[in-house]
């Protein structure tokens, strides 16, 4: 169905932010149309089948510690789970470092792991308890610095910093200098302490598709690029739609191009190489961390967590670097991380995602304005935090702002925590 010439609300972008706005507005009885340039809903959460393997566009995970996961039907996603922790290579051996609350059988190996003295491990536990259980308001009012400075002042120690925190966080923040805001580090660490990390049986794209499935299919317009937004008018190749409210929910660069007052945040990038192994080398589904001096930040048998990613029981391995790399440059390192011979690795595909996430350096600007006035709104991970949580939280905030504009006198639901 083509976009109509007139609509109550047009949302530009069917990523998690745009879909979070649209589903809320539709549930409130509003006439809302969603337009996306891509052929699928879900935005940066995108998956495809290659030779029968399910391949997400860059290694990414779903974290149930995010508050806005409450908006999703997690059971319907049929999740497969990673263990809470990581595998660390040191002294020629692979060591499991796990959260003893979730994996009591791994406590002894974790206590003996080469991450520094018992005192340092107690400091790591203290840092985790604080991030996991202090009220968010207190975390957000703590002195802000870089993530690295915060970890140093928590006394986690040099060894744990280089063997564990730097590669682990580099895979999440997509930067290894750990220059990200300590406040965002606290929020991210909190989500790992409180939640589980896994992959849906139909790939990460199915998270967005679940939200899109709540909308009238005739009002979701895929493969339609918006060329211009002028106040409450949206122009595409086939015509112009005028609405009472227009929400620009694109990636930050496109938002800045469509709305000049919006500033794009610096983008983070990642390159992920996918390999197939005859079988998984591991007994437990843990992320293997890159080693100091190496190029990989992590290497993960994704099919250990979610067997549906493999068509036939062979192991699907995703290995990521922060700078663009060619497969041949990292093949030996992938083999070492997985403890196999490089001859066993069958290269499936590689992908570089340039605008994977906006940076979140200090000062962290949580809850940037979404209501630009005159019926124009902007949302996306760049308005909150560079994550699934940030995208969905900004969508929830924006939906409330749109409802306030459409019905200034009606009570607008608060929609729970952002
Ligand atoms: C490789 C990778 C790994 C990640 N890992 C994680 C992770 O493990 N955990 C986590 O929480 N987050 C992760 N993220 C970040 C997370 O995916 C994003 O923060 C979130 O999906 C952003 O959602 P969004 O709706 O703000 O933007 P997007 O998903 O970018 O959605 C914007 C939409 O706008 C559309 N669009 C753009 N221009 C136009 C136009 N002109 N006309 C019409 N439509 C347009 C796009 O097609 C897109 O669908 C990862 C991201 C990547 C890429």
Strand partners, 211: none
Instruction: Supply the residue whose CA is at minimum distance from atom 13 of ligand 1.
Output: 387
- Ligand 1 atom at minimum distance from 41 CA: 49
- From 357, 377, 397, give the residue that closes a domain: 357
Q: How many Å lie between the centroid of ligand 1 and the Cα of residue 15?
A: 6
Ligand 1 pocket mutation pick from 19, 44, 45, 205 by most atoms within 8 angstroms of CB: 44
pLDDT digits (tens, 9 = 90+) for 201-211: 999 999 999 99
- Among candidates 345, 341, 342, 349, which has minimal Cα distance to 314? 345
**pLDDT tens, residue by residue, 240-280:** 999 999 999 999 999 999 999 998 888 999 999 999 999 99
Q: How many domains does the chain have?
A: 3
What 3-state DSSP class applies to 157? coil
Among 10, 11, 13, 267, which is best to mutate for testing ligand 1, by the most ligand atoms less than 8 A from CB? Answer: 13
**47 DSSP β-pair partners:** 56
Strand partners, 321: 271, 296
- Assess whether 164 and 296 both reside in one domain: no
Ligand 1 atom closest to Cα of residue 388: 11
pLDDT single digits (tens) 71-106? 999 999 999 999 999 999 999 999 999 999 999 999
Q: Please write the tens of the pLDDT for every residue from 334-345.
A: 999 999 999 999
- 232 in any annotated domain: yes
For residue 385, give the ligand 1 atom closest to its CA: 19
Q: Please calculate the CA angle 359-306-286 and round it to the nearest 5 degrees.
A: 65
Residue 394 placed within a domain: yes
Two structure tokens written together for 207: 């998270």
Q: How far apart are CA 306 and CA 200, in angstroms?
A: 7
Q: Decide: 41 and 208 in contact? Cβ < 8 Å.
A: yes
> By the 8 A CB rule, do 48 and 38 touch?
no
Which range marks the domain in which residue 42 is found?
A: 6-46+204-266+367-406
Q: Measuring CA to CA, which residue among 270, 268, 272 is closest to residue 350?
A: 272
pLDDT digits (tens, 9 = 90+) for 295-341: 999 999 999 999 999 999 999 999 999 999 999 999 999 999 999 99
Whether residues 88 and 77 share a domain: the answer is: yes
**End of a domain among 142, 171, 194?**
194
Query: With bands split at pLDDT 50, 70 and 90, how would you rate the model's confidence at 29?
Result: very high
CATH number, position 13: 3.50.50.60
Atom 51 (ligand 1) nearest CA: 356
Residues 262 and 274 in one domain: no
User: What mean pLDDT do residues 154-182 have?
Assistant: 97
| Residue 12 belongs to some domain of the structure | yes
For ligand 1, whether the C-beta of 254 sits within 6 Å is yes
Give the DSSP letter of residue 114. S
Please, which pLDDT band fits residue 417 given cuts at 50, 70 and 90? very low
Nearest to 324 by CA among 247, 269, 258: 269
- 384 and 256 co-located in one domain: yes
Residue where a domain terminates, one of 161, 194, 227: 194
Same domain, 344 and 287: yes
* Residue 414, domain member (yes or no): no
Q: Which atom of ligand 1 is nearest to the CA of 61?
A: 8
418 pLDDT more than 50: no
* Structure-token pair, residue 104: 């009591």
* Residue 388 Cβ contacting ligand 1 at under 6 Å: yes
Q: Kindly state whether residue 411 falls inside one of the protein's structural domains.
A: no
CA–centroid distance, residue 117 to ligand 1 (Å): 40
Q: Which of 389, 398, 392 is nearest to 368 (CA)?
A: 398
Tell me, yes or no, whether 210 lies in a domain. yes
Tell me, yes or no, whether 413 lies in a domain.
no
Percent of the chain scoring above 90 in pLDDT: 95
Domain assignment present for 163: yes
Q: Tokens 């967590």 appear where?
A: 305
Answer whether residue 182 shows pLDDT above 80.
yes
Q: Are residues 283 and 353 in the same domain?
A: yes
pLDDT of residue 2: 84
Q: In sequence order, which residues have a C-beta less than 8 Å from that of residue 80 and are 6 or more positions away?
A: 198, 199, 201, 285, 305, 306, 307, 308
250 CB less than 6 Å from ligand 1? Answer: yes
One domain, residues 254 and 380 = yes
| Residue 357: closest CA among 401, 389, 400, 405 | 389
pLDDT tens digits along 342-372: 999 999 999 999 999 999 999 999 999 999 9
Q: Using CA atoms, how far apart are residues 162 and 114, in angstroms rounded to an integer?
A: 11
């Amino acid at each position: 169905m083509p976009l109509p010439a007139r609509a109550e609300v047009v949302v530009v972008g069917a990523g998690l932010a745009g879909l979070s706005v649209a589903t809320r507005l539709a549930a409130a009885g509003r006439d809302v149309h969603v337009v996306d340039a891509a052929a699928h809903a879900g935005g940066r959460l995108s998956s495809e089948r290659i030779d029968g393997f399910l391949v997400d566009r860059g290694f990414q995970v779903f974290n149930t510690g995010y508050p806005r996961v409450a908006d999703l039907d997690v059971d319907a996603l049929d999740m497969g789970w990673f263990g809470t922790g990581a595998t660390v290579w040191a002294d020629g051996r692979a060591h499991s470092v796990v959260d003893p609350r979730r994996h009591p059988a791994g406590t002894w190996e974790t206590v003996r792991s080469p991450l520094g003295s018992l005192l340092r491990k107690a400091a790591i536990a203290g840092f985790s308890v604080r991030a996991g259980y202090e009220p968010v308001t207190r975390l957000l009012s703590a002195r802000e610095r870089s993530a690295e400075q915060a970890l140093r002042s928590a006394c986690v120690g040099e060894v744990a910093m280089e063997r564990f925190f730097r590669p682990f966080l580099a895979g999440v923040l997509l930067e290894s200098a750990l220059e990200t805001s300590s406040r965002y580090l606290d929020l991210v660490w909190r989500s790992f302490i409180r939640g589980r990390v896994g992959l849906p049986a139909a790939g990460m794209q199915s998270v967005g598709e679940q939200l899109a499935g709540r909308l009238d299919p005739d009002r979701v317009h895929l493969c339609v690029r918006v060329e211009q937004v002028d106040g409450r008018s949206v122009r595409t190749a086939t015509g112009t739609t005028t609405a009472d409210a227009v929400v620009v929910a694109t990636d930050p660069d496109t938002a800045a191009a469509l709305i000049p007052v919006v500033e794009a945040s610096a983008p983070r990038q990642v390159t992920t190489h996918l390999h197939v192994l005859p079988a998984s080398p591991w007994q437990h589904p843990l992320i293997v961390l890159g080693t100091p001096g190496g190029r990989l930040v992590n290497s993960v048998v994704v099919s250990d967590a979610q067997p549906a990613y493999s068509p036939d029981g062979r192991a699907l391995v995703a290995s990521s670097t922060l700078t663009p790399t060619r497969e041949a440059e990292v093949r030996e390192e992938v083999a070492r991380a997985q403890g196999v011979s490089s001859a066993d690795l069958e290269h499936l595909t590689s992908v570089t995602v340039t605008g994977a996430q906006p940076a979140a350096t200090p000062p962290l600007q949580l809850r940037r304005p979404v209501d630009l006035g005159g019926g124009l709104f902007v949302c996306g991970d760049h308005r909150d935090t560079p994550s699934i949580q940030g995208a969905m939280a900004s969508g929830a905030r924006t939906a409330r702002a749109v409802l306030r504009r459409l019905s200034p006198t009606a009570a607008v639901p608060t929609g729970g925590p952002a």
